[in-house]
């Protein structure tokens, strides 16, 4: 297969972890006879420094002309002043998502037996966790009208029925290949948008996906049950704000946020793929960042955008094998840890041996 992939290393640890994910993609290219054209472009804080914009025109063109985008991380203290005219998150990430039409955020949460001790949650709650969050990404309170004066401020939360139906179908299609259960999270007892969310999801699933089980749960209950009975969840469907909060909460189940990948999907299989962690400027350029989230994001890229499911599975199995071998970065072990590059090389070698 031939494919064009835009690479946006970004800021902080982004270049370090992205380098290892690219190494893994190239190993897949070699092992399976594919032809990947990789174009590296600026994005985030480094792009502000170079061009004045976190999402320059050259980067926009590259993204639009690609089959998928692999992103490292963005932001850092240098660009964190809320009074700055342009910031990596708002004028970068949010604008990029809207521009590319990536409206569905997919975040799998899976525990590895070897890493259970790393989680602050009691071990008995952590067996057999395998869930997927499906978060609406381009609507809701983050994209609503905002007003601010010296004495008051407001953020409008707005959703259309069409937006809710679109994200619900994404969740339903994923659920059909899993345990056929969707948990929809809302606050329908007080919020009008949540009332529309609940009625729309109920109607759509009943009409189009009769083989699926749909349950509704309030956001406060979801936050509690995510820690007290996490193995009960399969596919969790949320709006933008609730999904942002719950997915970060769920990250502690795995023992390290560095293990977690994500996908931001649009129409026609196009997507932006990135680890869920931030730029971690405090450990940048030390060679200790965990590249597994970025590597597993590359696996999601192969699965969702290029429909290379076998290749994606090989990456996932290789990451699992490296963990079983005890080849771990500093966030996963208190002693005998290895570098970012060594983990990436170990995953690459397992792929080449497949």
pLDDT tens-place string over residues 2-25: 999 999 999 999 999 999 999 999
Bigger pLDDT: 198 or 91? 198
Q: How far apart are CA 256 and CA 13, in angstroms?
A: 15
pTM of structure:
0.92
Instruction: Say if residue 127's pLDDT is above 90.
Output: no
State residue 207 phi and psi, 5-degree precision. Answer: -90, -35
pLDDT of the residue at 267? 86
Kindly state the tokens that stand for 340. Answer: 């970012």
Instruction: Say if residue 195's pLDDT is above 90.
Output: yes
pLDDT class of 84 with cuts at 50, 70, 90:
confident
Q: Which residues neighbour 173 within 8 Å (Cβ) at sequence distance 6 or greater?
A: none
Instruction: Say if residue 186's pLDDT is above 90.
Output: yes
Span 120-127, average pLDDT: 89
pLDDT class of 328 with cuts at 50, 70, 90:
very high
Span 166-195, average pLDDT: 97
Among the listed residues 154, 77, 137, 57, the one whose alpha carbon sits nearest the alpha carbon of residue 103: 137
pLDDT class of 335 with cuts at 50, 70, 90:
confident
pLDDT of the residue at 324? 96
Instruction: Say if residue 293's pLDDT is above 90.
Output: yes
**Average pLDDT over the chain, rounded to an integer:** 95
pLDDT of the residue at 80? 86
Bigger pLDDT: 140 or 255? 140
pLDDT class of 234 with cuts at 50, 70, 90:
very high
Kindly state the tokens that stand for 93. Answer: 């990430």
Q: How far apart are CA 164 and CA 69, in angstroms?
A: 25
pLDDT of the residue at 292? 98
Which residues have a catalytic role annotated? 142, 187, 220, 244, 248
pLDDT of the residue at 321? 97
Q: How far apart are CA 95 and CA 277, in angstroms?
A: 19
pLDDT of the residue at 228? 94
Whether 271 and 303 have beta carbons less than 8 Å apart is answered as no
Q: For strand 146-148 and strand 153-155, is the pairing parallel, antiparallel, or unpaired?
A: antiparallel
Residues, the chain, total?
354
Percent of the chain with pLDDT over 70: 100
pLDDT of the residue at 81? 85
Instruction: Say if residue 82's pLDDT is above 90.
Output: no
pLDDT in tens, 50-63: 999 999 999 999 99
């Amino acid at each position: 297969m031939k494919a064009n992939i835009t690479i946006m290393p970004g800021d902080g640890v982004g270049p370090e972890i992205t380098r290892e994910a690219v190494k893994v993609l190239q190993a897949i290219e070699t092992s399976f006879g594919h032809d990947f054209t990789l174009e590296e472009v600026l994005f985030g804080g480094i792009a502000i420094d170079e061009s004045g914009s976190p999402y320059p025109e050259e980067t926009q063109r590259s993204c639009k002309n690609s089959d998928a985008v692999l992103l490292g991380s963005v932001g850092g203290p240098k660009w964190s002043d809320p009074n700055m005219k342009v910031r990596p998150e708002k004028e970068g990430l949010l604008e990029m998502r809207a521009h590319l039409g990536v409206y569905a955020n997919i975040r799998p949460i899976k525990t590895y037996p070897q890493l259970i001790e790393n989680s602050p949650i009691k071990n008995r709650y952590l067996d057999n966790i395998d869930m997927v969050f499906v978060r609406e990404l381009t609507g809701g309170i983050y994209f609503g009208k905002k007003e601010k004066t010296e004495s008051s401020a407001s953020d409008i939360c707005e959703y259309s029925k069409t937006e809710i139906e679109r994200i619900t179908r994404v969740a339903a299609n994923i659920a059909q290949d899993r345990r056929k259960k969707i948990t929809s999270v809302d606050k329908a007892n007080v919020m009008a948008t949540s009332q529309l969310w609940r009625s729309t999801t109920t109607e759509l699933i009943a009409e189009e996906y009769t083989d699926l089980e749909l349950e509704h749960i309030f956001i406060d209950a979801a936050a509690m049950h995510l820690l007290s009975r996490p193995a009960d969840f399969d596919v969790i469907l949320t709006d933008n704000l609730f999904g942002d909060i719950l997915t970060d909460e769920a990250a502690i189940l795995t023992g390290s946020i560095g293990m977690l990948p994500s996908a931001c999907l649009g129409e026609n299989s196009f997507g932006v793929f990135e680890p869920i962690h931030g730029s971690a400027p405090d450990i940048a350029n030390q060679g200790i960042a965990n590249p597994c989230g970025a590597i597993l994001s590359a696996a999601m890229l192969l699965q969702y955008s290029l429909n290379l499911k076998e290749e994606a599975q090989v990456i996932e199995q290789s990451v699992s094998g490296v963990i079983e071998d005890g080849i771990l970065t500093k966030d996963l072990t208190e002693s005998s840890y290895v570098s970012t590059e060594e983990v990436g090389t170990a995953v690459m070698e397992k792929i080449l041996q497949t």
